[in-house]
Structure 1
Amino acid sequence: MGHDTVETPNLSFGRGGEPGRGTPYARYARLDELHSLQHPRSKVPAELSFIVTTQVMELLFDLLRHEWTLAQQALREDDLPSVLAALRRGTHVQDVLVESWDLLATMTPQEFNSFRSVFGEASGFQSSAFLHLEFLLGNKNAALLKMYDEVPQTHAELTEALRSPGLYDDALALLARRGLAVRPEVSEQRYRASDEVEAAWRRVYTEPEFAALQPLAEALLDVAERVTRWRQRHLNAVKRTMGGKPGSGGSSGLTWLRKSAEQDVFPELWTIRDGM
């Protein structure tokens, strides 16, 4: 082998990791595997749409978690441009998630009920990827970990997320390092609004010394607004397709969704607007 020749391993994989199958695009995106994951349990046409939409949402949950984790890392490094870039990319993911409800929103009760029984007690409420996002947003609830008692790795990952700072915690820690009177306290409970935090954000908007932090506040508000849009679309989609019946996983259905949609994420960023 001459100095100008470099041997590279054959990294082409097809279905199940078998080498050398398909186009480079198919191998890179593992399309054989991706397109083999849809297995309707009924002959109802709407079930395939339900499965595909659910799987797309799960992939987007993972992508959003990736962007929010990058934003957290940048916050800890006081790298505001990188924070804003990650949150901006994340809002585009959130927009797609919100619009993905269009694929299910027009499903009639008859269509949904015709295959609902085949997935038994399965429910989106059981999504570990979605729960991880909720923990990152500060919506923590240790009791929900019980669902994953028989899945040790998932349980461990969610336990770590429960005990670690969320996205807002890291933002408040940055405010504290910039001289604002905030004492970030990482909790395993749902985030509770604080007068101290509200006063700090008000100073960001009203005092020139802290004006450089306004883009962070607005970017976080963009995230929060899209979370509310997602919850409202979820509520409306369920209301349209199944009404007030209990959720398949045992949740209270519309009651729980309505309560969730009414809860602001990053609450002080909303309440400071009352007095500005």
Structure 2
Amino acid sequence: MTSNDYDPTAEGAETDFARRMSYGDYLQLDAILGAQHPLSDAHDEMLFIIQHQTSELWMRLAIHELSAARRAIARDEVSPAMKMLARVSRIFEQLNSAWDVLRTMTPSEYTHFRSKLGQSSGFQSGQYRLIEYLLGNRNHAMLKPHAHDAEVTRLLEAELAAPSLYDEVLRLADRKGLTMPSAVLARDVRETHSLNEGVLQAWRRVYEAPETHWMLYELAEKLVDFEDYFRRWRFNHVTTVERVIGFKRGTGGTGGVSYLKRMLEVELFPELWRVRTIL
């Protein structure tokens, strides 16, 4: 070390971690950085693995935030919930940016290791399915890919038995004087909510007089903001897949691009999008 080298110990920085918790210890970096095991010698397989692993980490945080937001809304604690929803929007902004990195992989590069994936596919992600269920898209057929994993199946079944995030928002709105249809409030929460005229008209009252219903107005816009990012994430998924494999079938047996395009039609909070047309 030369005399011009900066020495952080001169300012009290700790450098001896023989008996102390280090940065790597706290973050368990040995486990995280040791979790990449390519099955081929293809250079780009590491990119593919890390992109999906980091996406799963972001989804874990999204589930943490969305679940907490739902609990807060059920307790009428709307301000903390809106902070959490804003954070989830930023999480999906990160997830959207990840596609830009994956798109640097060309079709010919992907073919060098695609066969090593077997039947594994992103649509088998238990965390992604949990997010979909939490948000209200409760497609029971999508339990099947997880039947081999008892713990994931248990989590998904428990989620199906609970009101979705949007269910809790509609219940909150009803408690705050924005009367919601009794059939919607009492519906079987295991099923996907569909567009309801009574709910649409209730949100119309909010959007026509936001100054009277400011809290619900702001919460509704937080939901729309999040779904906007979520839709972009789905769209980026479609375009990335089409760019890399064209219209081949997915490794998991789906139609690939055709399956993903069908997912673009899903509306999580339908009345919040349709209300714009009737204002």
TM-score by length of 2: 0.89
Q: Choose the corresponding residue for 2:273, options 267, 270, 273.
A: 270
Alignment of 1:218-229 (within 5 A): 218-229=221-232
Q: Is the 8 A contact 2:164 2:189 kept in 1?
A: no
1:202 paired to 2:204: yes
Deviates more, 1:98-107 or 1:52-61: 98-107
Residue in 2 aligned with 1:141? 139
Q: What's the counterpart of residue 51 of structure 2?
A: 53
Give 1:186 deviation, angstroms.
Answer: 4.2
**What letter is aligned with 2:83?**
A
Match of 1:244 in 2: 247
2: CA distance, partners of 1:234 / 1:107: 14
For 2:19 and 2:98, how far apart are their aligned partners in 1? 32
What is the CA-CA distance between 1:106 and the residue it aligns to?
2.5
| Structure-2 separation of matches of 1:44 and 1:79 | 50
- C-alpha distance in 2 between matches for 1:107 and 1:188: 39
Residues 218-272 of structure 1: per-residue CA shift (max 9 Å, x gap): 1000111011000000000000000111110111111111111133321111111
Task: Report the CA distance shift for 1:75/1:186 in structure 2 as closer, same or farther (over 3 A).
Answer: farther
Stretch of structure 1 that moved more, 87-96 or 187-196: 187-196
Is 1:102 the counterpart of 2:105? The answer is: no
Q: 2:76 aligns with which of 71, 78, 88?
A: 78
- Which of these residues, 117, 127, 143, is aligned with residue 119 of structure 1? 117
Q: Which residue of 1 aligns with 2:61?
A: 63
Q: Distance in 2 between matches of 1:190 and 1:74?
A: 22
AA of the residue aligned to 1:202: R
Deviates more, 1:22-31 or 1:74-83: 22-31
TM-superposed CA distance for 1:53, in Å, is: 0.5
TM-aligned CA deviation for residue 166 of structure 1: 1.0
Asked if 1 retains the 8 angstrom alpha-carbon contact of 2:107 and 2:243, the reply is yes
Q: Out of 177-186 and 133-142, give the one that drifted further.
A: 177-186
How far has the Cα of 1:78 moved from its partner?
0.6
1:166 aligns with 2:164: yes
Specify the alignment match of 2:7 in structure 1.
none
Aligned partners of 1:73, 1:173: CA distance in 2, in Å? 12
Q: Which residue of 2 aligns with 1:13?
A: none
Moved more, 152-161 or 141-150: 141-150
Structure 2 counterpart SS, 1:121: coil
Any idea what the Cα deviations from partners look like across 1:175-200, whole Å, max 9, x if unmatched?
11111221323432222111111111
Fraction of identical pairs, as percent = 36
Unaligned runs of 5+ in 1: 1-18
Please tell me whether the aligned partners of residues 205 and 211 of structure 1 are also in contact (alpha carbons under 8 angstroms).
no
C-alpha contact 1:97 1:230 (8 A) present in aligned 2: yes
SS of the aligned residue for 1:101 comes to: helix
How far the C-alpha of 1:83 sits from its partner, in A, is 1.0
TM-score (structure 1 length as normaliser): 0.89
Give RMSD over aligned pairs. Answer: 1.6
Contact kept? 1:105, 1:240, Cα under 8 Å = yes
Tell me the matched-pair count. Answer: 258
1:259 to 251, 259, 262: 262
Match of 2:120, SS state, is: coil
Residue 68 of structure 1: how far off its partner (Å): 0.4
Where 1:209 maps in the other structure, the secondary structure is: coil
Which residue number corresponds to residue 9 of structure 1?
none
Structure 1 partner of 2:216: 213
Q: In the alignment, residue 106 of structure 1 is paired with which amino acid?
A: T
Q: Provide the C-alpha distance between the structure 2 equivalents of 1:218 and 1:206, rounded to a whole number of angstroms.
A: 14
**Deviations 1:21-69, CA, capped at 9 Å, x for gaps:** 8961010000111110000011111100000000000011110000001
When structure 1 is superposed on structure 2, of 190-199 and 235-244 the one drifting more is: 190-199
Deviation at 1:162, TM superposition (A): 1.4
Q: Is the 8 A contact 1:169 1:186 kept in 2?
A: no
